[in-house]
Structure 1
């Protein structure tokens, strides 16, 4: 079960997490979860190149190890990368020690201050433990420009992972709910492929026509 826009009370419960950016300008932030993988991530990269825009990729460490050449393509193209844990762990179902260790295993590959919890599910205790470990590691494992860690959520979920909807429905999910400062989630995964292939180019074209600019987080 999911909602395209997160329930308002989640922002109240988790106020320090990033749900959207300032809404004073027509800027949006495309993000992609679960890659990098062959074909799908490459399709996304080619689509972004064709539209001359940048995005942020929240990568699974295991996929980075399996497909390092695609991860390098993401970085060489000037896109931002984020940590999505090494094994796509669901925080609610994982003890804190295992979760934090899995985060750092991915962090060794991504070297970023951006983190998105898989499924958007993370315990408050895990948020606290991440912050503690980040401060402890800051001196020797974190770049100075990454001193402030940011846990990134979203305010528009495309639903491209949902085999029960069409590519057109996925497209409509995004264009009907995007506003200034929106953080939009697509997935560069096999599960999302059919809907992503249809919806992503149409979404970008529509938002550009409406005067939105695309930036990285």
Structure 2
């Protein structure tokens, strides 16, 4: 769990819209799973956007054959990206102690693509490799953390490219300006005209009660 908390605390560079941007709103655009980022536009919130996957494959324990999980995935990831230069691939490690990303937990990975450690399976899926089309688009990130009885969203002006995996994974703290929003289960909407941020979180009951804690990505609304 310490390793998981360390990972979640790494993406604290939060939001970003460049000054003078012609776009009005940010739209929620991502599901965060342990050690992986899977892109979803908000308009597909209730339907997994299959068209955004160029490639998807699940691996069971017998496929890994006691190999190091990370090394195994890095090899197949690198091989696939070499053979398909226009794709960006991500590894999702399916473990029992993974935290369910609260916003999308109602999916329950219902199309059987994301069945990690489901009891009804003959064997647990321990790894999935998903590949998306590379895009020359700028994506924006923020991290929601719990602070006493409310959630706190620190907004920092910063921009990054989804295709730059190194930048996404490092804890880059170069900030320009910061703002804090306080959220809870009854106050989960942000409509800030100054920062041009418009967010509504779908809070749902789960084993951790009402929870909106986690990592999120945003993209300018004109991307589609």
Q: Which has the larger radius of gyration?
A: 2
Give the structure with the larger helix fraction: 1
Give the structure with the larger strand fraction: 2
